[in-house]
Amino acid sequence: MQRIIQTIFLAYNNTSRIHRMMMVILTVITFFAAIFRPFIYYFKHEHNVKNMALATHQFQAMPLKGSKAIDIYSSISDDELPQDDVTQKDTDAESTHEYIISSGDTLSSILTQYNIEMSDIALLTKKHNDFRNLKIGQQLSWIINDSGALQQLRWEVSRRETRIFNRIGSSFKESHQWQQGTWYNSIISGRLSGSFISSTYEAGLSRTEIDAIIKAFQWQLDFKKLSHDDSFSVLISHEYFDSKKIQSQLLAVRIRSGRKDYYAIRAEDGKFYDQYGASLGRGFMRFPTIKQFRISSNFNLHRVHPLTGRIVPHKGIDFAMPIDTPVVAVSDGEVLIAKYSGSAGYYMAVRHGRQYTTRYMHLKNLLVKPGQKVKCGELIALSGNSGRTTGPHLHFELWINQEAVNPLTVKLPNAKNLIGKERRMYLSKIKAVMSQLQFN
């Protein structure tokens, strides 16, 4: 050992003064780097959900300039979300979307919220001015390809007329479908002997018609919890042409679960209401916090990574906020996931009805458990800095029909009930409809 030290000392003396200074500097830098190297510790938290007092300062917004997200969200897999026979999508319908036109809708406002490029929308509206005349209750449906480009748009102007726009090269070609058949109403009823889907399918309903029922009742019923011998009665209208069924339209549904009856009846605006004219939908909050906070990273499905140059989609919004900020549910729903998930940190997913799912990442405390029901505005978590981040922030995502959308620009559903003259007309018409919805 002594000989080794002597050898090092002689070598040091034989070097030039510049080299000696460089060796000393490198040694000092290495020493301090070893001492002050940061460590990251992850702690598991136990929470008391029932009673929790929040200090007033937790509700104050704080601008945090350094809070930006990293491309870390690949660890969150869509397969994590629980599936059942009601939520599963048909493979043939994965790229097909439907939308019923509401007050104030335009073609641009509808398609942009589903991330369709403005260039495709411009191709349609520039050549076809009739899109300015969209009416409440009409239906749009469209097909996109794997890259998200619009391939076909169907506009159901009325029961008789459907206008179809197919992409051909760099433009869209229009065609018409005119139905000259005859519409007949029929009642299909039965009792559950298995799942809701299998029972209604055996009774004679198509999968499209069953999906329309599930969508209408998505906020009122948990179809997985319907019991054996629960009853259903469906009023449906079919159009026939040359003795062949062309299309159908769901008019009204009655489901009896236990001793309670649930109604969904179509109004003139194409939406479903109960027997009192109350909307079957639910309202959504725009932000998952009580206060509004600065956005540190926007929604961008085509974001280019500044270092790699690769396209790494950012499927949500990042809000810069201090740790321990209250995070609330944006609508009524059921907690699907609440756990630690790698680089996303403490993470939560909430399902709202059958179409909507929200996700919350980088939390500090999870205040609800999987399977728990939550109300709009209810406290569900505290924000944090867990997982891989560059500062405290909340990553928030909104998914519609299993596709990520921009939470800040997408048109959110509202629970608008029928009032005044519209409600009186509705109630006068549904008496005859309700009398037909009888059980076998």
Question: CATH number of the domain at 56-80+284-405, please?
Answer: 2.70.70.10
**Cα separation of 315 and 361, whole Å?**
12
**Better-scored residue on pLDDT, 224 or 81:** 224
> How high is the pLDDT of residue 259?
87
Any idea which of 136-140, 145-149, 211-215, 366-370 has the lowest mean pLDDT?
Answer: 145-149
Counted residue by residue, the chain has a size of: 440
**C-beta atoms surrounding 214 within 10 Å:** 18
pLDDT tens for each residue of 151-168? 899 998 887 788 999 988
DSSP letter string over 192-255? -SS-HHHHHHHHT--HHHHHHHHHHTTTT--GGGPPTT-EEEEEEEEEEETTEEEEEEEEEEEE
Predicted confidence (pLDDT) at residue 323 exceeds the cutoff of 60: yes
Q: How far, CA to CA in Å, does 126 sit from each of 25, 122, 164, 169?
A: 68, 6, 16, 16
What confidence tens digit (pLDDT) does each residue in 116-155 have?
888 888 888 887 788 888 888 888 989 888 777 888 999 9
pLDDT class of 47 with cuts at 50, 70, 90: very low
* Per-residue confidence (pLDDT) for residue 66, from 0 to 100: 43
Apex CA 141: angle with CA 136 and CA 146, to 5°?
A: 145
| Range 182-281+416-436: architecture per CATH | Roll (3.10)
- Cross-strand pairs, 254: 233, 263
Q: How far apart are CA 193 and CA 190, in angstroms?
A: 9
Average pLDDT over all residues of the chain: 80
Share of residues in the chain with pLDDT > 90 (%) = 33
Residue 369 vs residue 412, higher pLDDT: 369
DSSP H or E run through 296 = strand 295-297
* Topology (CATH) of 101-178: Nuclear Transport Factor 2; Chain: A, (3.10.450)
